[in-house]
Amino acid sequence: MNKAMPAKQRGLSFSGFLFGAVVLIMVSIVGLKLIPAYMENATIKNLFVTIASDPEMQGATAGAIKMSYSKRASIENVQAITADDIDIEKADGDLVLSASYAVKVPLVANISLYLDFNPSSGK
């Protein structure tokens, strides 16, 4: 008589499932808290590129460039930096706007992440 071998059980245990779920939830929470800071950085970089590529801004004064940034930042609701934080340079005849700022993102209790950003209109 030929008896078939019982199949070995395979799968995920309940404790393994819970551990995986907790890790996934923690990563999701951190990701969701970081997204706004990265989105605001992308918006600032976009504003810099838009202003630097505007033909009217190529010969404008620093005050006019900062005023243009202030108006555009107000429309886009950018609050991380002000017009006074912008560095304005001419590199190879092109207007280059840049800034350096940091964002502190609170995670849980007294645990925070500190992010440094350096958006620039340069390539």
Q: Whole domain around residue 73: which residue ranges?
A: 36-117
* Residue 96 within any structural domain of the chain: yes
For the cut 80, the answer to whether the pLDDT of residue 4 exceeds it is no
* 12 belongs to a structural domain: no
Position 87 in a domain: yes
The per-residue pLDDT for 90 is: 87
**In the predicted model, is pLDDT for residue 78 greater than 70?**
yes
Q: Is residue 97 part of a domain?
A: yes
Within-domain flag for 16: no
Instruction: Check: CB of residue 108 under 8 Å from CB of residue 64.
Output: no
Domain count, the chain: 1
The candidate with the shortest Cα–Cα distance to 101, out of 89, 113, 84, 119, is 119
Q: Give domain status of residue 5, yes or no.
A: no
**Is 66 a member of any domain?**
yes
Does residue 111 contact residue 77 with C-beta atoms inside 8 Å?
no
DSSP 29: H
Q: Is the pTM of this model over 0.85?
A: no
Residue-wise pLDDT tens digits, 28-67: 999 999 999 999 999 999 999 999 999 998 888 999 999 9
